[in-house]
Amino acid sequence: MNKANTLIAKQSLEEAADWLIRSQEAPLTNEEKAQFKLWQEANSDNSKAWLRVQRLMGDVETLPKGVAAAVLNRPDDESRRFAIGKLALLLAAGPALWGGYKAIEVQQWTADYRTAKGEFQEITLPDGSLVKLNTATAFDMTFNSRSRLLSLREGEIEIRTAQVDPQQFGAFLIQTQEGTITPLGNRLTVRQCDGFTQLAALNGQVQVAPKLAQNNETMTIKTGHQAQISNFKLLSSQLISPTTTAWLNQMIAAHDMPLKQFAEEVSRYRKGYLRISPDIENLMVSGAFPTSNTDTIINMLTHTYPIKAKHHLGGYWVTLEPA
The predicted model gives 229-252 an average pLDDT of: 96
pLDDT at 4 over 50: no
- The burial of 275, by beta-carbon neighbours within 10 Å (0-12 exposed, 13-18 middle, 19 or more buried), is given as middle
Q: Are 258 and 272 in contact (CB under 8 A)?
A: no
- The model's pLDDT over 70-79, given as tens digits with 9 standing for 90+, comes to 444 444 444 5
Mean pLDDT across the stretch 37-42?
93
Most confident of 21-30, 294-303, 308-317: 294-303
Please name the helix (run of DSSP H) or strand (run of DSSP E) that holds residue 47, with its range, or none.
Answer: helix 44-58
For the chain, what percent of residues have pLDDT higher than 90?
58
Task: Give 137's pLDDT tier (boundaries 50, 70, 90).
Answer: very high
The pLDDT score that the predictor gives to residue 136 is 92
Per-residue pLDDT, 107:
55
- Sorting pLDDT into bands at 50, 70 and 90, what band is 42? very high
Q: Is this structure's pTM higher than 0.85?
A: no
321: exposed, middle or buried (C-beta count within 10 Å: 0-12, 13-18, 19+)?
Answer: middle
Contact 257, 289 (CB under 8 A): no
> Any idea which of 1-15, 72-86, 221-235, 271-285 has the lowest mean pLDDT?
72-86
Is residue 140 predicted with pLDDT exceeding 60?
yes
H or E, element range at 107: helix 95-109
Provide the CB-side half-sphere exposure for 210 (13 A, CA): 20
Confidence band of 5 (pLDDT split at 50, 70, 90): very low
Please, which residues bridge with residue 183 across strands?
206
Cβ within 8 Å of residue 264, ≥6 positions away: none
Nearest in space to 221 (alpha carbons), one of 231, 232, 236: 236
User: Rounded to a whole number, what is the largest CA-CA distance in the chain?
Assistant: 76
pLDDT surpassing 60 at residue 96: no
Q: What angle do CA 201, 204, 206 make, to 5 degrees?
A: 55
Note the Cα 322 to chain centre separation in Å.
Answer: 26
Q: What is the pLDDT of residue 58?
A: 58
| C-alpha R_g of the chain | 23
Question: Parallel, antiparallel, or unpaired: how do β-strands 317-322 and 273-276 relate?
Answer: parallel
Query: What is the mean predicted confidence (pLDDT) over 223-252?
Result: 96
DSSP class of 125: -
- The crossing angle, in degrees rounded to 10, of helices 44-58 and 77-93 is 100
Alpha carbon of 280 to those of 190, 260, 303, 304: distances in Å? 31, 8, 15, 14
Q: Are 201 and 190 in contact (CB under 8 A)?
A: no
Mean pLDDT of the chain: 84
Percent of the chain with pLDDT over 70: 79
pLDDT of residue 28: 82
Residues of the chain with CATH 3.55.50.30: 250-322
At residue 94, the pLDDT reads 58
SS3 186: coil
**pLDDT band at residue 1, thresholds of 50, 70 and 90?**
very low
Give tens-digit pLDDT for 243-274: 999 999 999 999 999 999 999 999 999 988 88
* Of the candidate ranges 124-138, 273-287, 304-318, the one whose mean pLDDT is the lowest: 304-318
Which pLDDT does position 19 carry in this prediction? 84
Q: Give the whole-angstrom CA distance, residue 266 versus residue 298.
A: 9
Confidence of residue 82 (pLDDT cuts 50, 70, 90): low
Between 94 and 322, the more confident residue is 322
**pLDDT surpasses 80 at 20:** no
* 90/109 Cα distance (integer angstroms): 20
Task: Give residue 131's pLDDT.
Answer: 97
**What's phi and psi for 92, nearest 5 deg?**
-65, -35
Higher pLDDT, 84 or 322: 322
Question: By mean pLDDT, which of 4-8, 172-176, 220-224, 309-313 is the weakest?
Answer: 4-8
Task: Choose which CATH entry (1.10.600.10, 2.60.120.1440, 2.40.30.60, 3.40.50.2300) describes domain 113-244.
Answer: 2.60.120.1440
Query: Pick the residue with more confidence: 312 or 181?
Result: 181
> What is the CATH number that goes with domain 250-322?
3.55.50.30
DSSP letter for 306, please: S
* Cα of 285 vs its chain's centroid, Å: 21
